[in-house]
Amino acid sequence: MAKRERVVRMSVELPLWRALTGYRVLTMIYAVLLAAFGRHKFERPWVAVAFLAFLLVWTLATLPKVRSAASCTKRFLGADLVVALTGILLTPLADFDSQSFDGPTLPSIWTAGSVLAFAIKGGWRWAAFASTFVAAANIIQRGDPSRDTFHNVLLVWVASIAIGYVVEVARASERTLARALEIEAATRERERLARDIHDSVLQVLAMVQRRGTAIGGEAAELGRMAGEQEVALRTLVSSGLVPLTRVSEDAAEGAAVRTVEVTEHDTGDGADCDLRTLLAPHAGSRTSLAEPGAPVLLPAESARELAAAVSAALDNVRVHAGPEAQAWILIEDEPDEVIVTVRDDGPGIPEGRLAQAEGEGRLGVALSIRGRLRDLGGTAELISVPGQGTEVELKIPKAPKVSRGKAGTAR
């Protein structure tokens, strides 16, 4: 059974919340040190000490609140903004000269952290709301605001709105990416199911149609009905309307159903499997198998998929090259990859036949061969010259890997 991919995504907001947590701690320390070194200027130092002590406790106690959007509630944001505004408005009570000079307020740049929390939580509109209150508090605190005051207020207002807008764009991008990953996963699963159907049900229907036509009589009518169902099922596979039902990987050809068994090396999904044993049943009077003397070990899933692709290639030889065609299978065990070549001495593929087959819903090459190799991180190259046979070269890396390339055309 194919393994499902688990995609673990980290929210784009998480680094922003982490940065905000660090910002609040650092700016709280900065505000305390700034007041400590300038304590001589406070006419009422107890006001500054009381507020900064509360700011220290508040910042450390609310660190869990600014670790994620879920924990940062509206109630907390409102309370945090009140703390920032209170610190700004208390500054003239502690320092009488603060309205005459553009000095720092008691919370200093810690106030920006409160506005940034609004921006990350709710976007640019929430940022505009919070920064407007901070701007009004700064103007009131100054009494007679100077040009620098307006400059600083405008800078905080514009910067917070810009950050809020960036957060909204990042959220939209994350939703788009999540949707794209879901579509990709669904497409890959649909292609896998379509390959299974092609390797089992479609092969059986095609066999029934050929045998029924050859026998004649009532069997011919049965063959005709099987042919109609094959066409209908191919249409469903091509359009993506594949039923989510797991089917077996048996492939029918001739009078019997062939089942490929996993070798004794395959003791689990993570075990290795000898590819030679999986391909050995294909050898016969019209199919020659050339293999290395040592086991060709691959992960069990990779070996099964590669063997199924080889089986699909041989099915194409029997169907398109004729019952008298000769086929050769060559297994090459390279240090980093395994190469399997399937060659026949048939008439070859006429130009444009692959595109025509894809349009008819015949997806043998696209799904059963190239689709399988693509999912394993490998490649499938088809070389055919009319009158000189066809060669299919299958390559997969020994280390499991997922490739996102586009599947090729059908035969």
Q: What is the pTM of this model?
A: 0.49
pLDDT of residue 117: 92
* d(C-alpha 195, C-alpha 175), whole Å: 30
Q: Say whether 342 sits in a helix, a strand or coil.
A: strand
pLDDT of residue 388: 81
Q: Is the pLDDT of residue 1 over 50?
A: no
pLDDT of residue 244: 36
Q: Is the pLDDT of residue 88 over 80?
A: yes
* d(C-alpha 146, C-alpha 139), whole Å: 9
* d(C-alpha 313, C-alpha 316), whole Å: 5
Which run of H or E residues covers position 253? strand 251-253
Q: Is 211 exposed, middle or buried (0-12, 13-18, 19+ CB in 10 A)?
A: middle
Look over the chain and give the mean of its residue pLDDT values, rounded to a whole number: 76
Q: Is the pLDDT of residue 259 over 60?
A: no
Amino acid at 117: A
- Asked if 87 and 105 count as a contact pair (C-beta separation under 8 A), the reply is yes
